[in-house]
Amino acid sequence: MRRVLAGRVGVVSVAVLAVIALLAAFGPLLAPHDPLLQDPRAILAGPSAQHWLGTDNLGRDVLSRLLAGSTLSLVAGVEAVAVGLVLGVVPALLSVHLGRVVEWVSLRVMETFVTLPFLVFAVAMTALLGNGLQQAMLAVGILIAPGFYRVTRAAALPVATAQYVEAAVLAGASPWTVLRRHVWPKVVPAVAVSTASLLGASLVIVSSLTFLGIGITPPTPTWGGMLATDLQYLYQRPFGPFVPAALIVATVGACNGLADALRDGPSRRPARRKVVADVAAST
């Protein structure tokens, strides 16, 4: 964490994510109005003292809906990443340590997942299992699992053939012990970078799905759903789509920034010192 916070990108990303996390945790409590309460006499109203961000097409307070929607939007993204982590990391580690059959099967399954088109698969899953957020996130989790699988497997393969691991196996260490004590610590940094990066990606997918009305039951507010509604009333409330869009962009950008900071944090500073040292030596 110290290394992440050492760079400006990392600090800004963590700060943005912290604010978003606070919104997700306490947003519904901070909402000034009932996010579902309609006021048909005040539809598509501009910002006012009563409604800071105006009202939507049914006269609901936009600020309250954004705050209430932040929880669901973020939790959905986290849920999808959690599914992807389990379905990607576990088979990747097992494929390295449980022999060729497991390796072959897991590779083929992941290759199959990669060929599935995101939206079509998510629509099919919700049609099959019902139009709910859990079902949609299960679909998203399945689809991002190959990303975790590849990264984890790439990080675990060199470790599995390292001499100290072979020594541990010869010394009688169980596969579980080898995984836990020798492989997992080497894989964690790569998985952490992927988690941050795929969290951003899954937030975009969640927003896309809710934009299309998949995974949510009206009138539940989500950022993607609000964006879709606001775009229909672009002429009446031209600024309407910008607020949910800005929140999505900020969150995804912060996730990607965090991923960059996690990736670059350990290596960038020594690299810079070396350049400075080389320059000093040449002068």
Partner 1 sequence: MARPRTLLRLAALAAAAAVALAGCGAGAGSASGSTLKWGFSLPTSWDPVTSSTGNDINTISLVYASLTQLDEKATAIPGLARSWDYNADGTAVTFHLRPGLTFTDGTPLDADAVKQSLLRGKTQQNSLLKDQLATISDITTSGDLDVTLHLAAPDYQVPNLLAGKTGEIVSPAAFTKDAAAIPTAPVGAGPFKFESFVPESKAVLVKNPGYWNADAIKIDRLELTPTTDPATVIAAVQSGALDVSFIPGNQIPQAKAAGLEVDVIDSMQVNQVDVNSTLEPLTDRRVVDALKYAIDREQIIDVINGGVGDAVSQPFPKGYVAYDPSLDTAFAYDPAKARQMLADAGYAPGQLSLTVTVNALSQATAELVQQQLQAVGVNATIKVVPPGSSTWQQEVYLGRKAQFALDGTVGRESPVQNLMVVYGSQGLMNTSKVATPEFLAALDAVRRTPLDAPNYPQVLQAAVRAGVQMSPSFSLGTQPRVAVRSKKVSPLPHFLSQYRWEGVTVGSPS
User: How far apart (Å, rounded) are the C-alpha atoms in residues 39 and 16?
Assistant: 33
Q: Which of 24, 17, 2, 89 is nearest to 258 (CA)?
A: 17
The answer to the question of residue 128 lying near partner 1 (CB under 8 A) is: no
Using the rule CB under 8 A, which residue among 2, 29, 40, 279 binds partner 1? 40
Q: Cβ closer to partner 1: 43 or 245?
A: 43
Q: Applying CB under 8 A, does 134 fall inside the site for partner 1? A: no
Q: Which of 7, 47, 213, 253 binds partner 1 (CB under 8 A)?
A: 213
Q: Which of 131, 134, 173, 250: binder of partner 1 (CB under 8 A)?
A: 131
> Closer CB to partner 1, residue 145 or residue 209?
209
Q: Name the minimum Å distance from CB 30 to partner 1.
A: 23
8 Å CB contact between 200 and 147: no
Cα 84 from Cα 218, distance rounded (Å): 27
Q: How far is CA 144 from the centre of its chain?
A: 10
Nearer to partner 1, 164 or 235 (CB): 235
The identity of residue 206, as a single letter, is V
Long-range pairs for 37-42: beta carbons < 8 A, 24 or more residues apart: 37/61
Candidates 1-9, 89-97, 178-186, 217-225; binding stretch for partner 1 (CB under 8 A): 217-225
Nearer to partner 1, 125 or 252 (CB): 125
Near partner 1 by CB under 8 A: residue from 145, 229, 251, 255: 229
Interaction of residue 48 with partner 1, rule CB under 8 A = no
One-letter identity of residue 213: G
What would you measure as the largest C-alpha separation in the chain, in angstroms?
77
User: In whole angstroms, how close is the CB of 45 to partner 1 at the nearest point?
Assistant: 13
Is 236 one of the binding residues for partner 1 (CB under 8 A)?
yes
Q: From the CB of residue 188, how many other CB atoms can be counted at a distance below 10 Å?
A: 14
What is the separation of C-alpha 157 from the centre of its chain, rounded to a whole number of angstroms?
Answer: 25
3-state helix, strand, coil in the chain (%, to 5): 75, 0, 25
Q: Does 214 bind partner 1 (CB under 8 A)?
A: yes
The DSSP 8-state label assigned to residue 3 in this structure reads: T
Does position 129 interact with partner 1 (CB under 8 A)? The reply is no
* Distance of alpha carbon 230 from alpha carbon 236, whole angstroms: 9
- The smaller minimum CB distance to partner 1, of residues 154 and 231, is found at 231
Which residues sit at the interface with partner 1, rule CB under 8 A?
38, 40, 43, 57-59, 123, 126-127, 131, 212-214, 217-219, 229, 231-236
